[in-house]
Amino acid sequence: MNWRVSGDSLFKTLATILAASAAFILLITAITLLNGSLPIFQHFGLNFFTGTQWNPVTGREAFGVLPYLLGTLVTSGIALLIGVPISLGIAIFLVEMAPKTLKVPVSYLVELLAAVPSVIYGLWGLFVLRFWVLEYIENPISAALGWIPIFSGTPFGLDVLTGGIILAIMIIPTVSSVTREVIQAVPNSIREGAYSIGATKWEVIRHWVLNYGRSGIFGAVILGLGRAVGETMAVTMVIGNAIGPNAVPTSLFKPGQTMASLIANGYLEASPVSLELPAYIAVGLTLLLLGLFINVIAHVMVTRVLKIKGGAVE
C-alpha cells in the first residue's frame, strides 16, 4: 500500500517535470531568439519588419524581413486554397460515402502521405512536379492571362506557385484526418433529423454536418496552416529562393522565398561577428511569433470542438 502511494506521487512529480519541460523549452527558445536578435532591433528598430533589403555584404548591411514574411503568407495561402477543398472532399468521402472496403485503405494511404519526409517532397518537386506545373498550369495561364500582374513574368516552374502547391500536398494528410474526426463526431441524430425532413445527401452534408463541425474544421485548417508556415526543406527546393526586393511575391510566377527557407539557406555561413547572424535569428523570432499566433487560434478552435464532441457523447 505504502509502495503504491509513493509510486503514484513519484509518477505525478515526473509527469509534472515533463510537462513543465515543454513550457521551459518554449521559454528558453523565445529568450534565446530575443537575445540573439537584439542587435538587429537596436540597429534597424521596427524597420526590420518593413524593410525589403537583405544585404549581408560587409559595410552595406541592410536587413528586412518583409519579402519573406509575405512569401510565407502567400505560399501558405495558396496551400490552403488548394489543400483545404481537397482535404474536405477526402474527409467527406471517407465518412459519408465510402463503402466499408475502401474506408480503411484510403484513410491509411492519406495518413501515409504525412509520413513522407519533406526532403522527399522537395526532391520530387524539383525533378518532377515543377515541370508539370510549368507545362500544364503556368505556360497556359501565362499565355492567356499574362497581362494580369499576379501572372506576369516568364514562368520557370521554380516559383511561389510551385512552392504553394508542394505545401498544399503536404498539409492534406493533417487537414483531412482532423476533418474526418470532426465529421465523424457529428452525432447521427443530426443526420437522421435532416433526412427525415427531406434533405438530400448534399444538403445534409452542406447545411448540417459541415455547419455543425465548422469550428473543428477551422481548427484543422489552422493546424495545416501551422505546418505550411514552418515547412522548410521542400519549399526551399522549389520556390526559387530570390532575395532582397526581388523576393517580394508580386507575381505567382516569380521566384520568392519564405522565412524558413531564408534561415535554412543562409544561417550556416552567416558571419558570427557581423549583423548577419542576428538578422537570421530575428527572422526566426518573427517565424516563432507567427507560429505561436496561428497555434493559439488552433488551440481555441480545437478546444471548442472537443466540447461539442463531449456533448455528443452524452
Partner 1 sequence: MENTYKIIIAIIAIVIVIAGIFAYMSLSNPTGQVSLSGSGATFPVPLLDAMITEYENNVKSNVLINYEGIGSGGGIAALQAKTVDFAGSDAPMSAAEMAEAPSTLHIPETVGAVTVAYNIPDVATGLHLTGQIIADIFQGKITKWNDAAIQDINPDVTLPDHEIVVAHRSDGSGTTFIFTGYLSAVSTDWEQAIGQGKTVEWPVGLGGNGNSGVAGIVQGTEYSIGYVELAYALENNMAVAAIQNPAGNFVSPSLESTTEAVSSKAQQGLPAGDASWSSVNVLNAPGEQAYPIVSFTYILVYKELNVINGMTQSKATALVQFLWWMVHDGQQLGPALEYAPLPSNVVSIDEASIQSITFDGQQLPTS
Residue ranges that bind partner 1, judged by CB under 8 A = 2-3, 6, 53-60, 126-127, 130-131, 154, 156, 158, 236-237, 240-246, 255, 257, 261, 264-274, 276-277
Closer residue to partner 1 in complex, CB, 179/232? 232
In the bound state with partner 1, the residue whose beta carbon lies nearer, of 219 and 230, is 230
Which set of grid coordinates corresponds to residue 51? Answer: 524593410
**Which three three-digit cell numbers place residue 170?**
503536404
Smallest gap from residue 294 Cβ to partner 1 (A): 25
Q: Cα separation of 11 and 3, whole Å?
A: 12
| CA gap 80, 214 in Å, rounded | 16
Neighbour tally for 50: CB within 10 Å: 12
Q: What is the nearest approach in angstroms of partner 1 to the Cβ of residue 242?
A: 6
Asked if residue 186 lies in contact with residue 312, where contact means CB atoms within 8 angstroms, the answer is yes
- Nearest CA among 298, 297, 265, 262 for reference residue 283: 262
Quote the least distance from Cβ 30 to partner 1, whole Å: 22
- Judged by beta carbon, residue 264 or residue 312, the one nearer partner 1 is 264
Least Å distance between CB 81 and partner 1?
A: 24
Minimum gap (Å) between residue 278 Cβ and partner 1: 13
User: In this structure, are residues 282 and 37 in contact, taking their beta carbons and an 8 Å threshold?
Assistant: yes
Q: Nearest approach, Cβ of 244 to partner 1 (angstroms)? A: 4
Cα(75)–Cα(59) distance, integer angstroms? 33
Give residue for cell 529568450: 31
Q: Please, which residues have CB within 8 angstroms of residue 13's CB and are 6 or more apart in sequence?
A: none
Beta carbon nearer to partner 1, 83 or 255: 255
DSSP run (H or E) holding 233: helix 233-238
> Closest distance between partner 1 and the C-beta of residue 200, in Å?
49
Based on CB atoms, which residue is closest to partner 1, 130 or 191? 130
**Identity of the residue, 51 or 187, whose beta carbon is nearer to partner 1 in the bound complex:** 51
What angle (nearest 5°) sits at the alpha carbon of residue 292, between those of residues 277 and 169?
A: 90
Q: Give the CA-trace dihedral at 42, 43, 47, 52, to 10 degrees.
A: -140
Query: What is the b/e burial string over 115-152, where b = at least 16 CB atoms within 10 angstroms of the residue's CB?
Result: eeebeebbbbbbeebbeebbeebbeebbeeeeeeebbb
CB 268 to partner 1: min, Å: 4
